Copies of this chain bind each other. A is one copy, B any other.
């Protein structure tokens, strides 16, 4: 029977009775921190000269989620860095004695089993945003850590961004933009493959919170909407969006002019869009993926873009992140890629900063988090990660 490090204050409100764990590999450890003072490390992207350009820019190292004064006034230690990789990194230095690690999907602090083993005081892993796949969730569960996200904080941000990317691809925006900046004017070079979105078949692979918001926003475009998920939506939402359920993913794919990936990265979804699956799609298919880069087989996507089987690919997620300079998606034809940005608009930052603050406050008080925020709790993974 394993003792676990529970994400709670000394009050221990989150502690489950021993025996509620499934994992036999959980480590036996004790809480070292004093009840009152916690060491909290935040890993964010650095803003440098951009930090001062917007008072609401709280999601960067300099903004530090806007919680520095609040944390330090309560006697907590708050270290913020963007230096997250390798044995000499700032993050690594604090691994042995931090209690809470706040990280984001945009500049992910990869929390490996090895780091978890070293982090003897660690209790709570908070994701400022959505998507905790940068954490070894099974190792976190085995170690009795709590992992939580600010569920819902940026679903609108991501859904909007997906619709933008659909339109950019369908309407062939980028070749036109290139002409504008290079002094060219060749309408034909754009128009020969520019289409209306109206009347096209759009399929979302995954219709969770983001997928549903996307379907709602697609509704007035008069498309043929399809969705694949583990479960059918409730009939009311299905009626509202007009989307049709496709139980069999491989039966849905060949019907789609546009495919949007809206699944979390899990052991089951990793690499699921490989060469074989891409081959099942329509020739010229357009793909939008703001979910996670590793859901795709990187080289298979690049090859299919080069051959023209994929007519356009847009997304803001890569593996790894930051994407190296030689990542093939930077060079493949007909892409509309950006760094990982869709969930970190200023509006989203304000929401997930508030969500993180709320969870820290509850953690200090020994209170439960909103149930939808838990990714790992009491040794168990949230259903979407199972």
| Residues of A bordering B, CB below 8 Å | 45-48, 50-51, 53-54, 57, 59-60, 106-107, 156-157, 160-161, 163-164, 167-168, 171-174, 176-177, 179-181, 183-199, 216-217, 219-222, 316, 321-323, 325, 329-330, 335-342, 344-349
Chain B, residue nearest A179 (CB): B339
CA distance A337 to B254 in the complex (A): 34
Distance in Å from the Cβ of A354 to the closest Cβ of chain B? 15
| 19 A-B contact pairs sorted by A residue (CB < 8 Å) | A45-B188, A48-B188, A53-B193, A59-B191, A60-B188, A157-B196, A160-B171, A160-B221, A167-B167, A176-B316, A176-B339, A177-B338, A180-B335, A181-B330, A181-B337, A185-B339, A187-B341, A198-B347, A199-B347
Instruction: Write out the residue numbers on chain B whose beta carbons fall within 8 Å of the beta carbon of A189.
Output: 50
Instruction: Write out the residue numbers on chain B whose beta carbons fall within 8 Å of the beta carbon of A177.
Output: 174, 336-338
Distance in Å from the Cβ of A83 to the closest Cβ of chain B? 15
Instruction: Write out the residue numbers on chain B whose beta carbons fall within 8 Å of the beta carbon of A54.
Output: 192-193
Q: Which of B45, B48, B171, B187 contacts A164 (CB 8 A)?
A: B171
Taking a contact as CB atoms under 8 Å apart, the answer to whether A322 and B185 are in contact is yes
CA distance A336 to B186 in the complex (A): 16
CA distance A318 to B183 in the complex (A): 13
Taking a contact as CB atoms under 8 Å apart, the answer to whether B191 and A349 are in contact is yes
Q: Which of B59, B179, B195, B219 contacts A346 (CB 8 A)?
A: B195
CA distance A347 to B257 in the complex (A): 14
Given contacts A196-B347, A346-B194, contact A338 B106 (CB under 8 A): no
Given contacts A188-B60, A219-B220, contact A194 B339 (CB under 8 A): no
Taking a contact as CB atoms under 8 Å apart, the answer to whether A196 and B337 are in contact is no
Q: How many chain copies? A: 2
Taking a contact as CB atoms under 8 Å apart, the answer to whether B57 and A192 are in contact is yes
Instruction: Write out the residue numbers on chain B whose beta carbons fall within 8 Å of the beta carbon of A322.
Output: 185
Instruction: Write out the residue numbers on chain B whose beta carbons fall within 8 Å of the beta carbon of A323.
Output: 180, 185
CA distance A217 to B197 in the complex (A): 12
Distance in Å from the Cβ of A202 to the closest Cβ of chain B? 13
Chain B, residue nearest A217 (CB): B220
Taking a contact as CB atoms under 8 Å apart, the answer to whether B156 and A194 are in contact is no
Q: Which of B47, B220, B335 contacts A220 (CB 8 A)?
A: B220
Instruction: Write out the residue numbers on chain B whose beta carbons fall within 8 Å of the beta carbon of A336.
Output: 177
Most buried by B among A180, A199, A321: A180
CA distance A339 to B194 in the complex (A): 13
Taking a contact as CB atoms under 8 Å apart, the answer to whether A341 and B190 are in contact is yes
Instruction: Write out the residue numbers on chain B whose beta carbons fall within 8 Å of the beta carbon of A185.
Output: 321-323, 339
CA distance A60 to B221 in the complex (A): 27
Taking a contact as CB atoms under 8 Å apart, the answer to whether B167 and A173 are in contact is no
Taking a contact as CB atoms under 8 Å apart, the answer to whether B194 and A345 are in contact is yes
Taking a contact as CB atoms under 8 Å apart, the answer to whether A107 and B187 are in contact is yes
Taking a contact as CB atoms under 8 Å apart, the answer to whether B345 and A171 are in contact is yes
Instruction: Write out the residue numbers on chain B whose beta carbons fall within 8 Å of the beta carbon of A347.
Output: 195-196, 198-199
Instruction: Write out the residue numbers on chain B whose beta carbons fall within 8 Å of the beta carbon of A325.
Output: 183
